[in-house]
Amino acid sequence: MKRERKSGYGARHMKKLWCAAVRFLGLWREAQTSEDKDRLRYMYFDTGLDYHIAARFAVIEQFNPLAANLFHHAIEMYLKGALCRTHDEYQRRELGHKLRKIWKRFKVAYPDPALKTGMP
């Protein structure tokens, strides 16, 4: 014997829940996009410094592959910290962990003749 379902109740209820979730996520996303650039920059530099200290310790203890990886992360955090003021979250995420790509964006954002040397 089949139970008769009230027509529309489930769909209406789900639609209301869906609309509430979309509104909440929209407001949450809006709050996330208004980022405090100085605080974010500080966090990138702080994390970069942590990686840098760990990398130096790894060199002293001769953990060479680990040291290289930690230095890579330290440089990435320093560069992304500098790019906080010119790039939004989406643009920074788009850079990924590719140091060459991040370095090129850094040179465009902060043009300096001294940066002509080094990475291409």
Q: Residues with Cβ < 8 Å from 43, sequence gap 6 or more?
A: 81
**What pLDDT was estimated at residue 83?**
93
Q: What is the pLDDT of residue 82?
A: 93
For residues 7 and 58, membership in a common domain is answered with no
Residues 84 and 97 in one domain: yes
User: Does one domain contain both 92 and 43?
Assistant: yes
Judgement on whether residues 64 and 95 belong to the same structural domain of the protein: yes
Q: Which residues constitute the domain of residue 14?
A: 1-34
| Pair 81, 29 in one domain | no
Same domain assignment for residues 30 and 40: no
47/18 same-domain check: no
pLDDT of amino acid 4 = 56
pLDDT at 48: 95
Residues 20 and 71 in one domain: no
Contacts of 95 (CB under 8 A, 6+ apart): 80, 83, 87, 101, 102, 105
Residues in the chain, pLDDT under 50: 31
Q: What is the pLDDT of residue 64?
A: 86
Residues 50 and 101 in one domain: yes
Query: pTM of the full predicted structure?
Result: 0.67
